[in-house]
Amino acid sequence: MQEIIQADCLEKMKEMQDNSIDFIVTDPPYGLHFMGKQWDSSTPNIDIWQQAWRVCKPGSMLAAFGGSRTHHKLMHALECAGWEIRDVIMWLYGSGFPKSHN
């Protein structure tokens, strides 16, 4: 059975059984203070990632989006919670002043 759960992640994960989730996909706050909004004032703390680790089955994966300037905070918290960083997919884009070719 497949189910999409939409709720406060920390509160909902506390209700879940250990080793019950196959895969987590999340787009947490990037910690960029986007438009001065409080919800984006920091990246999620280790408590959230420890709960995610607890509810996931052995061998499960987690895909978490992060900001280009703050992804290191996300990865550090994930590692501290027990996750192993395997692969990173990056969206690279170029911008800025054009350079001369001669």
Per residue in 27-48, pLDDT tens?
A: 999 999 888 889 899 999 999 9
In angstroms, the CA 92 to CA 56 distance is 30
Residue type at position 77: A
pLDDT, tens digit, for every residue of 50-102? 999 999 999 999 999 998 889 999 999 999 999 999 988 887 777 766 666 76
The C-alpha angle 71, 73, 75, rounded to 5 degrees, equals 70
Other beta carbons within 10 angstroms of residue 10's beta carbon come to 14
Q: What's the predicted TM-score (pTM) here?
A: 0.81
